[in-house]
Amino acid sequence: MRISRRRIRRSGYTHSSPDQVLYKQLQDNLTRIKTDFGQSDDLVVNCFEWTANPSLSYACIYIDTLVDKDTVNHLSEELMKLKRSPEQETDNLFILMRRQFSSIRDLKTGVKFIDLYAELLSGNTVFLADGNTEYLSIPTENKDSRAIEEPSSQTVIRGPKEGFSERINTNILLVRKRIRSHHVKLENLTVGNLTRTAVSLMYIENIAKDTIVREIRRRIKEIETASILEGSYIEELIKDDKYSIFPEFLSTEKPDTVTAALLEGKVAIFVDGSPYALTAPAVFVEFLHSSEDFYHNFIVSSMVRLLRFIALFLTLLTPSAYIAITTFHQEIIPTPLLISIAAQREGVPFPTLIEAFLMETTFEVLREAGVRMPRAIGSAISIVGALVLGQAAVEAGIISAVMVIIVSMTAIYSFTVPNYEMSNAVRIIRFIFMVLAGVLGLYGVFMGLIILTLHLCKLKSIGIPYLMPLAPWIKNENKDSLLRFPLWSLKYRPFGIRGEDKRKTAQTSMKKGG
């Protein structure tokens, strides 16, 4: 086949709606495409003449930075073999091209410019033939991406080490290979007027509640925004209480966590370009659970869970309780301890509230600096900074030694919260409690706890109460909340979330030792 490049003519073309169908003349289509893409340098438009009939021509169009060059070259070689033979009953070039690539499973055709642009921006190669108002799209996307690695933010001692990557198809694969059932359903959506980000909903038919699936689908379809760059965009735009700092979707980069959520009747949301998946609905107790809880003995897992809940309250209340007691309620401190605290605070120029704020703010700055610095030196800065600054502040008489102990204990407690979003919420609320304690003492702390509890009771995640099954209290649903009961006793999926298939186990339920 003789190949020649044609110069795209510049005519009196005027911009029109992207919903318009393709023109019959090839040159008009090419002019429109070049104009809409603003003469972008990475848009490649190659024109060829058909050897069997030089009066007919076709074009190969792709975006150079998105495609795999070897695949595009292979397609060009295949078209070179396109010849008119006596047994072919048609001279329609487009039909012959489609037959040539008929073995390609993901081959697509269309007639609208907006669909053609979506194919190009997905890394596909588009072919146009003169005299036809259809395009032919063949997948040629460059699939280079980060390999499957161990999750960096959710490490485990025992359990799967695989973590999600930035490719949405890879993430879906990691979940599908764990649930080998035809009941797993996947719905693909596109969100973002400019980014056109691929978003996928995954759920298990009959296990997921239809009303929850429909509600999540409706909310995502109603999103009107220019860009979706990460799953947090989706969460912020569709959450029930948009002003609450508490997360209403559980984000994870572990496929086994998503798998467990799907088997309970939840819906998973995958966003292309993000190594995190969202699961909803999510309740408060889930943010203190870990997938590793089910990989250890249930007694050990229950003890660890209780430690997490206790640590959550301690990281929230330890600084405020210290401030309230030392400022307003010294009478409840044992005399020897009170004398020791008073001796340490002798010469400290700041009241307890200001002292605590200085230390907590310094620690938060060090932690943020450790996260943003290169990994090789981030941990060194946070550890050395805390030790040096704390010791120097005590020796200088700016901070008391007991305050360093209080802040250090609070920091250690906060690291036991498995979910980073929940940890951030607790960090912010801790400062509010410190102010209440410094102004009103323990009365302010208890008032803050009441307001916080009321706020949590008001929250919902896709219509499901945030504190369920604790509030409202559902007796038979607390086998996997504060404690982790044995697997043979977890017969039913969570109430309010499950669909028609309520049982986790078969009708002949397993017994201990069976």
Average confidence (pLDDT) over 345-360: 87
Q: Which residue has the higher pLDDT, 222 or 14?
A: 222
What sign for the dihedral angle of Cα 248, 249, 252, 255? Answer: positive
Whether residues 173 and 229 fall in one domain: yes
Whether residues 242 and 387 fall in one domain: no
Q: Residue 32: inside a domain, yes or no?
A: yes
Q: Residue 54: inside a domain, yes or no?
A: yes
Please, what is the average pLDDT of the chain? 83
Q: Check residue 506 and give its pLDDT.
A: 54
Q: Residue 247: inside a domain, yes or no?
A: yes
Q: Check residue 426 and give its pLDDT.
A: 93
Q: Give me the percent of the chain exceeding a pLDDT of 70.
A: 88
Decide: helix, strand or coil at residue 199. Answer: strand
* Residue range 368-408, pLDDT digits in tens: 877 777 665 656 566 666 667 777 777 777 888 888 889 88
CA angle 451, 453, 458 (to 5 degrees): 95
Query: Strand runs (DSSP E) across 208-248, as ranges?
Result: none
Count structural domains, the chain: 3
pLDDT at residue 199 above 60?
Answer: yes
Strand partners, 127: 60, 136
* Residue range 496-514, pLDDT digits in tens: 888 777 777 654 333 444 3
Decide: helix, strand or coil at residue 99. Answer: helix
d(CA 285, CA 497): 15
Q: Check residue 395 and give its pLDDT.
A: 78
Query: What range does the domain containing 252 cover?
Result: 168-282
Banded pLDDT at 12 (limits 50, 70, 90): very low
Q: Residue 113: inside a domain, yes or no?
A: yes
Region of poorest pLDDT, from 40-44, 147-151, 179-183: 147-151
Whether residues 456 and 416 fall in one domain: yes
Segment of 9-18, 31-40, 141-150, 498-507 carrying the highest mean pLDDT: 31-40
pLDDT at residue 10 above 60?
Answer: no
Whether residues 340 and 411 fall in one domain: yes
Q: Residue 446: inside a domain, yes or no?
A: yes
Write 426-432 long-range contacts (CB < 8 A, 24+): 426/312, 426/315, 426/316, 427/364, 428/245, 429/245, 429/316, 430/315, 430/316, 430/319, 430/320, 430/360, 431/357, 431/360
Rounding to the nearest 10 degrees, give the CA dihedral for residues 413, 415, 416, 421. Answer: 120
Whether residues 240 and 301 fall in one domain: no
d(CA 175, CA 79): 38
Whether residues 134 and 180 fall in one domain: no
How far CA 338 is from CA of 11, 321, 322, 335, 402, in Å, comes to 89, 15, 12, 5, 11
Decide: helix, strand or coil at residue 83. Answer: coil
Whether residues 261 and 307 fall in one domain: no
d(CA 168, CA 428): 33
* Residue range 54-113, pLDDT digits in tens: 667 888 899 888 888 888 888 877 777 666 554 454 567 778 788 777 777 778 888 988
Please name which of 423, 86, 2 lies closest in space to residue 246, comparing C-alpha atoms. Answer: 423
* Residue range 134-174, pLDDT digits in tens: 999 998 888 776 777 788 777 788 888 888 988 888 899 89
Whether residues 448 and 352 fall in one domain: yes
Last residue of a domain, one of 224, 255, 282: 282
pLDDT at residue 8 above 50?
Answer: no
Residue 498, phi-psi category: left (phi > 0), alpha (psi -120 to 50), beta (remainder): beta
Q: Check residue 11 and give its pLDDT.
A: 38
pTM metric for this prediction: 0.81
Decide: helix, strand or coil at residue 267. Answer: strand
Q: Residue 514: inside a domain, yes or no?
A: no
Whether residues 271 and 352 fall in one domain: no
Q: Which residues of 16-41 are buried (b: 16+ CB within 10 A; e: fewer)?
A: eeeeeebbeebbebbbbbbebbeeee
Whether residues 454 and 320 fall in one domain: yes
Q: Check residue 5 and give its pLDDT.
A: 38
Fill in the amino acid letter for 211. Answer: T
What is the secondary structure of 384-423 as a DSSP string? HHHHHHHHHHHHTTSS-HHHHHHHHHHHHHHTT-S-HHHH
CB-CB contact of 234 with 156 (8 Å): no
Whether residues 275 and 377 fall in one domain: no
Whether residues 454 and 364 fall in one domain: yes
Last residue of a domain, one of 282, 310, 336: 282
Decide: helix, strand or coil at residue 460. Answer: strand
pLDDT at residue 179 above 60?
Answer: yes
d(CA 88, CA 98): 13
Q: Check residue 122 and give its pLDDT.
A: 84
Q: Check residue 479 and give its pLDDT.
A: 84
* Residue range 438-487, pLDDT digits in tens: 999 999 999 999 999 999 999 999 989 999 888 888 877 788 888 888 88
